[in-house]
Amino acid sequence: MIPVILSSDKTQLTVFRGKSAYPVYITIGNIPKEIRRKPSRHAQLLIGYIPVTKLGGLTGEAARRRALANIFHYCMRTIVAPITSYGEVGIPMMSGDGRWRRCHPIFAAFIGDYPEQTLVACTYSGQCPKCVVPADQLGEYLRSPLRNHIQVRNTFLLADGEVHAFHAACRGAGVKPVFHPFWENLPLTDIFISITPDILHQMLQGVVKHLISWLTSSSVFGPERIDAQCQVLPPNHHIRNFPNGITTLSRISGQEHKDICRVLLGLIVDLPLPSRQVTSRIVRSVSALLDFLYLAQLPSQTTHTLLRLEDALDRFHRNKDIFIDLGAREHFNIPKLHSLLHYGVSISLFGTTDNYNTEQTERLHIDLAKDAYRASNRKDEYQQMTTWLERREKVQQHAAFLEWRRRAGQERGRTAKPIGAPRPVPRSVKMTRDPSAKAVSFDDLARRYGAVDFQDVLADFIAQINYPDMSAAARRTRAADTLIPFRGVPVFHKIKFTSNLTSDIIDAVHVRPEQRDKHGRIVPSRFDTVIIQGSAPGRMCGNDGEFYLS
């Protein structure tokens, strides 16, 4: 059995003429996620575009939307037709070990934003596409039963009969009157279970976006105070600074939302509320949502982490009413917020969320579709883009075949080695040739750098180098008698760590005291925290063999 994963997200193809389409991507669940989530490995395939027409000849918004939904499902039914036939009878396919096996492709998961989820599930906007929770209870921490796939499927089988009876049956089932959805005859498929979580649109562009708007509301902290907190944040490696604040940003990307999440709790932890209320409930609710976000993105999940995921969601719901009390919200009936209730079950069924994230297809669309449109100069953009993509895929397949033959030739004659546990990436320390400060006295080290025990630690280090076999007590006595014949040392303000495999900088340490720039303005000090694992206990490190610098 081969689990088939489909993904689609409505995308604007052109800026000036406003053409939009649903690009449809396909992959299979048998491919390791380390390969599937990398666009360069071509495990995700763009198999077609479903155009979005305006249907200006139709009168009435409801009729136009119903026609668009029918067009989408008709096109999808044509695309997935091979899954319907081969899913039942099977198809011979060669597996990775060179053996031919009869495989049955089964539609397993659909990845998309909330509008695409409701479109595929044939549910109404403002409702959950997975369960039957009432629209006015979406903000509650209550679990409702999933929609009955068999009942809904039997409802859509009435589409060939009397129109009014079919529409009445759809209203009774709580679904839109779509003429035979594409998943109606797919074997072993439950569309309501198949809809997966989406970190990009549900969490980052959905819940986190709402959370930022609540915090920056004038009734909570206000945009000016949040932006002022951003401006005083000290720099740190791998942490993005927002010198102009976060409320002035427009069209915030998923990566920018990730960067904001890294500093969001620090922005509000010590801010007082204008109404003199206690901020602990806001801090607990923000902390709970951030805990949920990071736990949901773990690349490996266990029963313990899933319990922590549910605990984080429970903590948020117990504290979320503070935003209603302050006037930032009137209710929490937000479908994307409700979708967090389904994360635990979906992770248990389909694996970790990095298996199904629209970030992958967003990256593919940037690489493929937009490049194809820029290469297009015909009137029929869809046909031109499809032709261009077909040619590019053939070139990529040929390049992959050549690379496979090259590697096969290199591996011929070699003995296979067992694959062990993954090892950490080897790294090297990279330093500048000249120090940042050529001679800093011991007094300045203590006063400006905070290294009050530098002389004692240096004496311990000299004794350890000179007498490596001496006991710790004797070495401490020897260190106390060590004479240091100089009163200053060179100081380096930055240490870089590079990967031995790619030579890329993967981390850095900054140590810099307060100073003034050429205009006389004060540049604040910066001291990153470093944990160094030592080989032997002593005065250089703690009893656990670790030495802490700050």
Give 468-498 pLDDT, tens digit per residue. Answer: 888 888 888 888 888 888 888 999 999 998 8
Percent of the chain with pLDDT over 70: 86
CA 518 to each of CA 233, 260, 523: distance values in angstroms, whole numbers, following the listed order: 22, 31, 10
Structure tokens at 366: 């940037």
Whole-number Å distance between alpha carbons of 507 and 512? 17
Q: 153, 166 in Cβ contact below 8 A?
A: no
CA-wise closest residue to 200 among 111, 94, 322, 288: 111
Residue 370 pLDDT: 52
Q: Identify the residue with better confidence: 302 or 48.
A: 302
Q: Identify the residue with better confidence: 148 or 534.
A: 148
- Which secondary structure element, helix H or strand E, spans residue 357, and what is its range? none
Q: Which pLDDT band, with edges at 50, 70 and 90, does 542 fall under?
A: very low
Of 130-134, 312-316, 480-484, 503-507, the one with minimum mean pLDDT is 503-507
pLDDT in tens, 491-507: 999 999 888 777 778 88
Q: Average pLDDT, stretch 434-452?
A: 90
Residue 546 pLDDT: 39
Q: Which pLDDT band, with edges at 50, 70 and 90, does 23 fall under?
A: confident
Q: Average pLDDT, stretch 181-192?
A: 92
Question: What is the domain partition of the chain in residue ranges?
Answer: 2-196+375-384, 199-353, 427-549
Q: Looking up tokens 């809809």, which residue turns up?
A: 195
Q: Which pLDDT band, with edges at 50, 70 and 90, does 548 fall under?
A: very low
496: which residues sit within 8 A by CB, 6+ positions away?
Answer: 429, 430, 431, 505, 507, 508
Which residues is 495 bridged to in the sheet? 509
438: which residues sit within 8 A by CB, 6+ positions away?
Answer: 490
Residue 467 pLDDT: 87
pTM beyond 0.95: no
Task: Check pLDDT > 50 for residue 547.
Answer: no
Long-range contacts of 371-375 (CB under 8 A, 24+ apart): 373/13, 373/14
User: Which of 101-115, 263-277, 505-519: highest mean pLDDT?
Assistant: 101-115
Q: Looking up tokens 């790294």, which residue turns up?
A: 427
Residue 538 pLDDT: 42
Of 202-211, 298-307, 330-339, 365-374, the one with minimum mean pLDDT is 365-374
Task: Check pLDDT > 50 for residue 377.
Answer: no
Residue 379 pLDDT: 46
Q: Please tell me whether residue 218 adopts helix, strand or coil conformation.
A: coil
Residue 423 pLDDT: 57
Q: Identify the residue with better confidence: 51 or 494.
A: 494
Q: Where are the alpha helices (DSSP H) in 269-341?
A: 280-296, 303-319, 321-325, 335-338
Q: Looking up tokens 């509301």, which residue turns up?
A: 217
Q: Which pLDDT band, with edges at 50, 70 and 90, does 15 fall under?
A: very low
| Sequence letter at residue 363 | R
Task: Check pLDDT > 70 for residue 414.
Answer: no
DSSP track, 457-499: HHHHHHHHHH-TTS-HHHHHHHHHT-----SEEEE-SEEEEEE
Percent of the chain with pLDDT over 90: 41
Q: Identify the residue with better confidence: 388 or 23.
A: 23
CA-wise closest residue to 459 among 470, 441, 475: 475
Q: 527, 511 in Cβ contact below 8 A?
A: yes
| Sequence letter at residue 153 | R
Q: Average pLDDT, stretch 405-425?
A: 59
CA 263 to each of CA 218, 236, 245: distance values in angstroms, whole numbers, following the listed order: 20, 11, 12
Task: Check pLDDT > 50 for residue 445.
Answer: yes
Q: Please tell me whether residue 436 adopts helix, strand or coil conformation.
A: coil
Q: Average pLDDT, stretch 419-428?
A: 61
Task: Check pLDDT > 80 for residue 421.
Answer: no
CA 423 to each of CA 33, 199, 420, 462: distance values in angstroms, whole numbers, following the listed order: 18, 28, 8, 33
| Sequence letter at residue 143 | R
CA-wise closest residue to 268 among 212, 326, 318: 212
Q: Average pLDDT, stretch 37-45?
A: 75
| Degrees to nearest 5, angle at CA 74 with 68 and 75 | 90
CA-wise closest residue to 191 among 114, 122, 124: 122
Specify whether the backbone of 537 is left (phi greater than 0), alpha (psi in -120 to 50) or beta. beta
Q: How high does pLDDT run on average in the chain?
A: 84
